[in-house]
Amino acid sequence: MSVLNILPFASTLVMLVFTVSVFQRYLVRHNPAFLFWGIGLLMFGLGSFAEAYLALAWSPAMFVVWWLFGAVLNPAWIGQGTLHLLFKRRWVMVASLVLVVVSIASAWVVLAAPLNASQFHIGKTISEQYTTIWPAGASVRLLPIPFGTYGLITLVGGAIYSSYLMWRKRVLPNRVIGNIMIAVGALSVAGGSVMTRLGLGQLLYITELIAAILMYGGFLMAAAPGPQPAPVDGSAHAAGSASK
Amino acid sequence: MAASGKQKLDRIKTHKMPEQSVLYDRLVPILFVVLGLVTLALIVFSLGVLTGLIHWL
């Protein structure tokens, strides 16, 4: 097994610890933001675990898990968590409901799509060979783009916006840096996904590990003990984002 | 509640960024611009794929 194929094991471990700490926070605060973050991070972790598994053996179930959770759904779910932190509005709940329905429909599409398992080769990263496993032109191959774009806008946009609000007021420097780390981490894996489609699939595992470390580090930094944010008017000041 | 809110606000004011910091005065604004541009580029690219302007599949 190449060094590259070991990286998803490390990503899985980081995401497992990250997911547990986010779910613990949800159990204490009952904020839906942490529920969506936790589910999204769990999906990220499952995707990494499936990558690690597929480095050792073929499994159609693991391939579907990798695609559905690792490539399609997780950015939108994590981003939805950020949306809940930023805006305490009714439309966010409606958007969450839409996300759940669309995610179930997408899962149905992925489960129904035919696989070409004979194209799988052990020892090659799954990100380098998935294009031959999904049939050419299959609609399932397009699914990561709308979910990824939504995740990009909500997660990265939300983190930059949160960081900017704190920076403009010149307060809570730990949250300024923490949110920047979250944004850079998310952009790292988004860039890795684009590179994968351009034929540089071996870079994906590196960018995923960078994303896992930066996002968890950013979360810890933003959540570092310090003054609590001022009462919010229900809008943007939830900028404490991950630490709330 | 109002007093509690004021106390919290006072606490935040005591947790400020350092003055004349290269990190917060120079590097962070540059990062905002760079991250914003990269995000925007990726969003435009994605929209191009979704609308069929960029051949992806």
Minimum distance, in Å, between the CA of residue A6 and any CA atom of chain B: 28
Count up the domains in chain B and report the number: 1
SS3 sequence of A54-76: HCCCCCHHHHHHHHHHHHHHHHH
Are A173 and B28 in contact, with CB atoms under 8 Å apart? no
> Contacts of residue B45 in chain A, CB cutoff 8 Å?
194
Residue A232 has pLDDT above 80, yes or no: no
Model pLDDT, residue B16: 84
For domain A3-243, give its CATH number from 3.40.1130, 1.20.1070, 2.60.120, 1.10.10.
Answer: 1.20.1070
> Contacts of residue A176 in chain B, CB cutoff 8 Å?
17, 24, 28
What phi and psi values does residue A224 have, to the nearest 5 degrees? -60, 145
- What rounded mean pLDDT belongs to chain B? 81
Does a structural domain hold residue B16? no
Give the structural domain span for B44.
22-49
Are A47 and A7 in contact, with CB atoms under 8 Å apart? no
What interface predicted TM-score (ipTM) does this complex get?
0.83
Does a structural domain hold residue B40? yes
B16: β partners: A171
Residue A15 has pLDDT above 80, yes or no: yes
Q: Is B34 on the interface with A (CB under 8 A)?
A: no
Task: State the Cα–Cα distance between residues A84 and A176, nearest whole angstrom.
Answer: 19
- What rounded mean pLDDT belongs to chain A? 90
Does a structural domain hold residue B56? no
Residue of A130, A139, A160 best to disrupt the B interface, most CBs of B under 10 A: A160
Q: What is the pLDDT of residues A16-37, one digit of tens each?
A: 999 999 999 999 999 999 999 9
Which single residue is written with the structure tokens 């950020």?
Answer: A82
Q: What is the pLDDT of residues A83-127, one digit of tens each?
A: 999 998 899 999 999 999 999 999 999 999 999 999 999 888 898
> Strand locations in A55-191, DSSP E?
none
Does a structural domain hold residue B2? no
The amino acid that residue A208 corresponds to is E
Minimum distance, in Å, between the CA of residue A171 and any CA atom of chain B: 4
CB pairs A-B closer than 8 Å: 92
Q: Is A167 on the interface with B (CB under 8 A)?
A: yes
What would you report as the CA-atom Rg of chain A, rounded to the nearest whole angstrom?
18
A171 and B11 in contact by Cβ < 8 A?
Answer: no
B11 and A153 in contact by Cβ < 8 A?
Answer: no
Q: Is A224 on the interface with B (CB under 8 A)?
A: no
Are A157 and B39 in contact, with CB atoms under 8 Å apart? yes
Ramachandran class of A241: left when φ > 0, alpha when ψ lies in -120 to 50, beta otherwise:
left
Report the chain A residue with the minimal C-alpha distance to residue B40: A153
